Amino acid sequence: MSQGLEASPQSRWTRILRGWLGTHNAEPVDMDTRLSRARFRAWHRGTREADFMIGSYFDHHHLKWNEDEVEWFENLLEEDDVDIMGWALRAQPVPEQFQGPQMLALQRLDYVKV
């Protein structure tokens, strides 16, 4: 990766498995399919806390996203839950590639219904 950042093991293995399973093909995927996949991945993270935080963020914001913003979210989903939650709670510094208005919206936490 550029800028001296190491890819997380989860994202590296996810890319390997996608290539092995043939789910990462050269054909473009329509926006509805991308959003459907992102919604599923946002709500099936592995812990209830991450599901609520990341899934609620998706549900609250995805209708406003353009292609670049969807790509940002897809890239975020490749990261470990612990890191995403650390960035959202401002407990860890946010890597440069995730800084910006979408991360600020994630950090507001105003989308989580309790």
* Chain centre to alpha carbon of residue 53: 11
Give the model's pLDDT for residue 10. 55
Structural domains of the chain, with CATH: 30-114 (1.10.150.250)
Whose tokens are 């914001």? That residue is 61
pLDDT tens figures, 63-112: 999 999 999 999 999 999 999 999 999 999 999 999 999 999 999 999 88
**51: burial class by Cβ within 10 Å (0-12, 13-18, 19+)?**
middle
More confident residue, 26 or 42: 42
pTM for this predicted structure = 0.75
